[in-house]
Every structure is written in structure tokens, then in C-alpha cells.
Amino acid sequence: MAFDYGSESLGIRNPFKMEGLIRAARGLIVTSMGVYPLLQVAEIIQQDKALAWIYAIIGFVLLSGGLRSLGGGVFQMLRFFVGRSVPTSLALNLSKSERETAKLEKPAYRSIDLEEMLMGRKNKTFIEPDGFISRFVHTLVPKLIFLPYPLRNLAQRYAGAVIATAVALLAFALTWFVSATGLIGDIGAILLPFFSFFLVLYLIISWRKASTVFRAAEQTIETHGNIALAKIMAFAILAPVILGFGLNWLLQQPDIQELYTELQQTALEPFAVLPPLLLILLLLGLTAPLVIFLLKERTQQVKAMTRVSEFRDNWQENIHPRELFVNIDSIVMANRRYKEIPNRIYRELEPKLNEQSSSKGDFSGEVMIETQPEFAPLPQAPLFKTLRLIATLFGQLLLLVGPVILFFMLYESKAVLALWQQYQALTSPSDNQHLQYLIALFNESQFLLSLLFFWLIASSFGRLLENYAHTFWAELNFRSLLIYLKCEGTYTESKLTTGKGIYDSTASENYVMRSSLTPWIISSRITTSTFADSGAKNVEHPRHIMEMEDNQPEMQAILDDIQSFLSDRETIARIKNSSDLNSAEQIYNINQQSRAIPVQQDQATLASPEQDAAASTSLPKQDSKE
């Protein structure tokens, strides 16, 4: 959608300034962390080239990530360009002033959908949830169905991740029980570490998937049903069984069994599943109240009304049917424009006149118009603003954990390289030294793997809070007037002549269209919601109807304007300029003078009636005998 500049602002300010400031601060910190190892490369390369390459790679990764966050935050703080064509129309806009813009829009409705909503007093935006998880969440929070699609979708995604975590932990508890009690034999000692590894990996994938917010999710409600629940149950049931059979088969192999026996006698450290699980549960306990209370505060703003104002009557007027539609479009609704911005026309004015003969026929026509939406932000409680800010800050802090761990790996890489150099210094290592080196390397990799899991867990929850809080920052609400007019009736034509006299007159002959009108007018003051973004398409995403309020005073004002137009119409033509009036007066004077001449036998000019009467009395009487 093009930026259509207008001198009058629509009053839409940048909602992402605070969020962008916090994001830019994180980017600045990460950028500083990336600059430090890059500055050390020149000194370290003279001592150890391998370590210098590690410093350079980690420095470039931190620098690129920091600059990306810094640039994204600064971009969110830049000017919020809003033209006169925003927000997106509810349906295809047929207005002549928006022909090019309408081709670029992606409206959420069709004109027939808007007609059904007005006629049926219903809101097709509130789609019924589909699937077990979706219905479960909407049952716990009944007003959730009245929220915009992005908020409903993020609630379902978060609930799905919580359910997946609960089921996976239950499966882990059952696996631990059968392993600790020896119900599955010696394989239980090796099954539990393997299952713990896959459990943490599964939970990280689940929460990372839940943190994603798609732009396509703003157009409809997502389905979280039996398939999603079946996947969770399948992992909980089948994962321990498959791992058990696989490990049992491997241990039956002579080479694997011998290696396993040797490893049991060493000081190998098993994978510690407890710290990652505790971190997931801790972050779950911290993020759940933020998400729940933000949704609760938003649901308190819900009214979910579907009321309209309606007018139906029958009028008998001397008017051509087409003039009524033209007046409504060009005068009545044009006077209700917001800041002189053209109205949105969703059903174009096309009256259909069925002429049955030269003097009568029937007609029908309809028009659907929405005034330019006026920005009307919802009143936000102080608690809502505080929680939204806390969610943004907490999310950015969690996203900062990953770069800190990566920065810490600079020093850990020194220990790994030192271990490798000690092993390379041995001229002919014995089997015992070789095994000790592998054990030390394995234990070190276990520590690095734990750091990687901490990074992924913090990143998943940080991205979740960042995207969820961004959704609450991005919501914009508008108010506008939506009106639908349908008119049917019949018309007849008659001739009206006025001003004729016996001798002379300035007459007016008019063909009058006598119409029987049956108008049906439905209007509603609607509240719509859309979600903004930073960039060229900031307020150009689909807009949905959230509330429909009746507006009887506005309806009465519209009727008064129509009635005023009908009552002020002129049926008889009149002279409106002085030139025509002077011409008519000269013709009248000439006729008066010509009628003042008496009637002669050789004249064809007639005198006035008074002169004829006077002339008849002055003539001598004829003898009756003659």
C-alpha cells in the first residue's frame, strides 16, 4: 500500500518506541561483547592460531547478532509513517479514489459477509475453536473467543506447550520409576540418561515452536486438536519403549557390550538432566503469570456487542429513484467523512430501473459504506502496561543469556585446546593415557552440551516473551460507522403544468416522477482491531470487527438529512435570474399594449375584454325590423 500523505494526521503514533529502546540496549551490549574478542585476535594469533580463529569466529557471531538486534531496535524507534489510506478496508474497496490502493489490500471479509453481520446481528469474526486443546483453553477462559486472532493463537500455543511439558514429565517419571526399581533389568541404568537427553531436546523443540508467531495467524484461528495431542502422547509412550528395545539390541552385540563394561569402570559423568529440567520449570513458572495476566487484562476490555440501528418505512415522494441514491452517497454520507477522507465503499451504488412502459416501472438498489476508521486506542490499566513492560524486559534479558554463554566459551575453549595440546605432547601414549584423555574430553563435552541446552532453553523462553509482548504492543483499534441501505419500490410519470392563463402566461411544464419508496437502512458503530508492524507495511494488515454498537442518534441524523433533501426539492420550475425575469416582463407589457387597441373589422388584433365591452355599448342599436 502506498504512503498517501495528507496534511492532517490520523493520530496514530509509533507503539514500538519503548520496545525498540529495550531491544536496542540489548543489541548494544552484545555488540560490545563481540568487539572485545575481535580486538584480542591480533595479540593471540602470535601465540596460538587455533585459539585466534576461535576468538575471531565467536567475535563475528556476537557482533553480527548484536548489530542485528541494535538495528532492529533502532528501526522500531524510527518515524511511524501513516498515510490517509490506512488501515486496511474490511472488504474490497470500490471507491474511485482508492482504485490502486484496493488492489494491494488483503481484506478480511467480503461485502456479503458484512451484509450478513448487519442483517443477522452476528459477528463472524468469533470463530468456534477446533480441536481438543483449543476447546480446552477456551473452556478455561470463556472470553478468549472474543479476542483478536493473534491473541487467541498465542494462548493456544502456550497452553499446548504446557500440556506437552506436563505429559513429557509424566513419561519421565514413569521411566525413572521402572529404571530405579529394576523392573526392566540392567538396561534401566543406561535407559534413563538417554531418555533424559531426548526429553530435554523434546521440551526445547516444543517451547521454541510455541514461541513462533506467524503473520498468517492474524487471519484465522489455529487448530490445536487431536493430532497435536496424539503427538504428545506418542512421544510419552513410544519414546521409552523404542529407546529400551534399541539399547537392548545394542547391548547384545559383543563389541558394544565389552565397551559398555569398560565404560562402567571409568569415571564418566552421566548427562545431568536435572538442571535443564529445573530451568525449564523455573522459566515456565515465571512466564506463565505474565502471559495469563496479560490475557486476563485484555479480556476485561471485551464487550462483544452485536447491536445495530434499523429503519424501515414507506415513503411517497415526487422524486426519481436514482436521485435518492445519489443524495445518500454524495451528500448524506459525504458529510460524515472523517478528516475529509473518502469513505470506504463495499457495495457500489448501482440502482436497477426496470421500465415497464414509458410512464411507469419498478426499481431496486443497495449501497454499503464505511466511514474512514478513526484511531481509538483501548483504555489500558496500569497493571497491563506494567506487565507488558516486564515481559519485554524479561524476554530481552533471557535473549542476552545466549551471547553471555558464547562469550564464556572463549575461556572454555582455552581449556579444551590445552587438553588437546597435552595429549599431542605425548610421544607414544599408553592405552590408559588414551582412555583418560577420552574421558576428560567426554566430560568436557558434557559440560559444553549443558551450556548449549541452557542457551537454547533461555533463548526459547526469551523469544517467546519477546514475540508475545510484541503482539500486545502491536494491537491498534479503530472506530467507524458502517451503513447498509437497501431500497425498492415503483415509480410513475405524470405531467405537471402551471402558470397558464387565458390570453397570455409564462407557463412551466414538468414531468414529475412519483415514487413509492421502501427504504431499509441498517447502521452500526463498529470497533475494529488490527496489528501493526515496523516497516513499510506498518498498518496494512487485515482488520477485524470486534464490537458492533447501535447508534440511534446517528441514524436519526441520517434520516433528517434525507428528509430535508426530499422536502426542499422543487417540483415546479421557476425563474432564478434577472435577465429572464426582465424578458418575461417585456413580453407582458407588449401584450398589454397590443390588447389596448380596439377591434376593427380589418384588424386581426383583439382588444382586451374591458375594451370590447365598452365598444359594444357605444354602437347604435339596429332596428329590430331590419
- Residue 344 is assigned to a structural domain of this protein: yes
Backbone angles phi, psi at 550, to 5 degrees: -75, 150
> Is the pLDDT score of 137 beyond 80?
yes
Q: How many CA atoms lie within 13 A of 526 on its CB side?
A: 26
pLDDT-based confidence at residue 233 (cuts at 50, 70, 90): low
Asked whether residue 68 falls in the same domain as residue 146, the answer is no
Structural domain contains residue 210: yes
Rounded mean pLDDT of the chain? 79
- Please determine, for residue 617, whether its predicted confidence score (pLDDT) is greater than 80: no
pLDDT for 613: 52
Q: What would the pLDDT profile of 514-566 be if each residue is shown by its tens digit? A: 778 888 999 999 999 999 888 777 888 899 999 999 989 888 888 888 888 77
What are the tens digits of pLDDT across the range 299-342? Answer: 998 888 999 999 988 888 777 777 777 787 778 888 888 888 88
374-396: average pLDDT: 92
Q: Are 370 and 485 in contact (CB under 8 A)?
A: no
Asked whether residue 95 is assigned to any structural domain, the reply reads no
Q: Which residue has the cell 508475545?
A: 468
Alpha carbon of 155 to those of 144, 305, 477, 525: distances in Å? Answer: 9, 23, 20, 29
Window from 11-15, 184-188, 553-557 with minimum mean pLDDT: 184-188
pLDDT interval class at 396 (50, 70, 90): very high
Mean pLDDT of 68-97: 87
Q: Which residue has the higher pLDDT, 296 or 414?
A: 296
Neighbour tally for 300: CB within 10 Å: 9
- Give residue 409's pLDDT: 82
Indicate if 365 and 327 belong to the same structural domain.
Answer: yes
Q: Are 74 and 203 members of one domain?
A: no
Q: Indicate the number of domains in the chain.
A: 4
- Whether residue 286 lies inside any domain: the answer is no
Whether 82 shows a pLDDT value over 60: the answer reads yes
CA gap 137, 157 in Å, rounded? 10
**485, 328 Cβ separation under 8 angstroms:** yes
Considering the domain architecture, whether residues 255 and 166 belong to the same structural domain is answered as yes
pLDDT at 497 over 80: no
> Which pLDDT value is given to residue 334?
82
Q: Are 20 and 71 in contact (CB under 8 A)?
A: no
Residue 606 has pLDDT above 80, yes or no: no
Tell whether 371 and 518 lie within a shared domain: yes
Asked whether residue 454 is assigned to any structural domain, the reply reads: no
pLDDT-based confidence at residue 626 (cuts at 50, 70, 90): very low
601 has pLDDT over 60: no
- Residue 593's domain spans which residues? 578-618
pLDDT band of residue 69 (cuts 50, 70, 90) is very high
When mean pLDDT is compared across 139-153, 387-401, 406-420, 545-559, the lowest value belongs to: 406-420
Q: What is the DSSP letter of 572?
A: S
User: What's 109's DSSP letter?
Assistant: -
Identify whether residues 543 and 583 lie together within a single domain. no
Kindly state whether residues 35 and 65 are assigned to the same domain. Answer: yes
Confirm whether 591 is domain-assigned.
yes
Per-residue pLDDT at 623: 46
In this structure, the answer to whether residues 218 and 361 fall within a common structural domain is: no
Predicted model pTM: 0.80
pLDDT at 265: 54
Q: Which residues pair with 179 in a beta bridge?
A: none
CA dihedral 529, 533, 537, 538 (to 10 degrees): 70
Domain assignment present for residue 524? The answer is yes
* Residue 103 in domain: no
Specify the pLDDT at position 290. Answer: 93
How far is the C-alpha of 528 from the C-alpha of 217, rounded, in Å? 17
Considering only CA atoms, which of 201, 202, 193 is closest in space to residue 269?
A: 193
Residue 600 reports pLDDT greater than 60: no
CB 364 within 8 A of CB 347: no
With beta carbons less than 8 A apart as the criterion, state whether 368 and 345 touch: yes
User: Do 347 and 327 belong to one domain?
Assistant: yes
Q: What is the DSSP string of 479-513?
A: EEEEEEEEEEEEEEEEEEEE---SS----EEEEEE
Q: Over pLDDT 70: what percentage of the chain?
A: 72
In a shared domain, residues 228 and 132: yes
Residues 216 and 148 reside in one and the same domain: yes
Which three three-digit cell numbers place residue 119? 442483517
- Of the given ranges (20-29, 364-373, 432-441, 484-493), which has the lowest mean pLDDT? 432-441
Pairing of strands 508-531, 544-549: antiparallel
The β-bridge partners of 103 are: none
Residues 200 and 349 occupy one common structural domain = no
Q: Is the dihedral of CA 343, 347, 348, 350 positive or negative?
A: negative
pLDDT tens for 435-480 read 666 666 766 777 778 888 899 999 999 999 999 999 999 999 999 9
